[in-house]
Amino acid sequence: MIEADWIRQKALETGFSDCGIARCRRLHEREENLVAWLAEGNHAGLSYLERNLDKRLDPSLLVENAQSVIVCLVSYNNGTWKESCRPLPDPQTPWKPAPRIASYALARDYHQTIKEMLFSLLGTIRQRYPEVSGRCFTDTAPLLEKSWATEAGLGWIGKNSLLVSPRFGSFVLLGEIVIDVPMDHYATPFPEERCGNCRRCLDACPNGAIVAPCRLDLRKCISRLTIERPTCTEAISNSSSHSTGPGLHGWLFGCDLCQSVCPHNQHAPLYTLPAFAPLFRPEEMTRETWLTLSPETFGTRMGSTPLVRCGLENLQQRLARDAREK
Ligand code: SF4
Ligand code: SF4
């Protein structure tokens, strides 16, 4: 039995913005929805989302004798979305004045940052409780992390399918430590969703990818089209204003539109962790700047950011295609 309040305090000292701890269990009530979402093809053929359904629902299949899920949340809100989500001056020239980049992609890759923080927290826990065994997760294993965040009392899943923290909004990232020891007490699951009658995110999505509240069709989502490496070719063919596929609407990597309109983000505090500081300013980079960027400069300026997942060549092909067809 270990002290939940002590772990929460250590999580905050590690740099997380919030932390909650849930009792480990199978999330059986999520199964029907998840199976239906997959059956409708909303996962856009991303096979890793189809695999390990059982493990997704039950962390004890990932960590032997799992008892507790420590959910850590950190804000990466750098405010750049206020600029990048302004309406396009001319939808016929979507890359002007500058290709749009999702705000999280301007900083060092969060997988690395959060993994280091989780390992540090687990190390601290094990110093005081050497009997603890556990595993750290950050978007890298089949775990329903947004559901676990609601279980741990950190927020609710908004109609755009993202976790919304009542204090930090939705520009947040999650990491989890699943351990094999029970806590002295657990968080109360977040009591309700607070979207109410709002549907701003549904109305703001230019591709209608939020097909119903909490139902995202990844086939239409710009984030999926521009981030996942296997779909980069699809994004290239969708980048032209002549394309009949779902448009990219000036987004070169990621998309922040449905978050930018959320009332819970308008006054949310900015990030405090230096690791989330933007490494470049996308509004200063025109399409021509991107097209002439050398691999060396890309590596120096953006080599630690998530843009590497797509690669400079793919980013430039996306931009070049639009240029050729004009
Ligand atoms: S990220 Fe962009 S494309 Fe995807 S649902 Fe939100 S607004 Fe739509
Ligand atoms: S924009 Fe409105 S409906 Fe969408 S997540 Fe935010 S509060 Fe919920």
pLDDT, tens digit, 9 for 90 and up, residues 48-104 = 888 889 999 999 999 999 999 999 999 999 999 999 999 999 989 999 999 999 999
What residue owns the CA closest to ligand 2's atom 4? 201
Strand 172-179 versus strand 68-75 pairing type: antiparallel
Index of the ligand 2 atom closest to the CA of residue 265: 6
Beta carbon of 56 within 6 Å of any ligand 2 atom: no
Beta carbon of 158 within 6 Å of any ligand 2 atom: yes
Q: What is the pTM of this model?
A: 0.94
What lies within 8 Å, CB to CB, of 15 at 6+ separation is 74, 117, 272, 273
CA 37 – ligand 2 centroid, Å: 20
pLDDT tier at 105, thresholds 50, 70, 90: very high
Choice from 201, 205, 260 to test ligand 1 binding pocket (greatest atom count within 8 A of CB): 205
The string of pLDDT tens digits covering residues 260-305 is 999 999 999 999 999 999 999 999 999 999 999 999 999 999 999 9
Beta carbon of 215 within 6 Å of any ligand 2 atom: no
CA distances from 126 to 131, 160, 167, 223, 270 (A): 7, 37, 30, 37, 31
Average pLDDT, the chain: 93
Backbone angles phi, psi at 68, to 5 degrees: -140, 145
The helix or strand, by DSSP H or E, that contains position 20, with its residue range, turns out to be strand 18-23
Choice from 146, 159, 210 to test ligand 2 binding pocket (greatest atom count within 8 A of CB): 159
Which residue from 10, 7, 9 is spatially nearest to 22, judged by alpha carbons? 7
Asked whether the predicted pLDDT for residue 324 surpasses 50, the reply is no
CA 20 – ligand 1 centroid, Å: 28
Asked whether the predicted pLDDT for residue 46 surpasses 50, the reply is yes
Single-letter residue type at 274:
P
Index of the ligand 1 atom closest to the CA of residue 220: 3
Beta carbon of 198 within 6 Å of any ligand 2 atom: yes
pLDDT tier at 241, thresholds 50, 70, 90: low
- Is 139 annotated in the active site? yes
The string of pLDDT tens digits covering residues 194-204 is 999 999 999 99
What residue owns the CA closest to ligand 2's atom 2? 198
Asked whether the predicted pLDDT for residue 116 surpasses 90, the reply is yes
Q: Which of 139, 203, 217, 322 is catalytic?
A: 139
Output the ligand 1 site: residues, CB below 6 A. 160, 204-205, 207, 209-210, 216, 221-223, 255, 257-258
Distance CA 219, CA 231 (A): 10
Choice from 150, 170, 194, 195 to test ligand 2 binding pocket (greatest atom count within 8 A of CB): 195
Which residue from 16, 28, 38, 77 is spatially nearest to 216, judged by alpha carbons? 38
The string of pLDDT tens digits covering residues 136-164 is 999 888 899 999 999 999 999 999 999 99
Q: How many residues does the chain have?
A: 326
Beta carbon of 163 within 6 Å of any ligand 2 atom: no
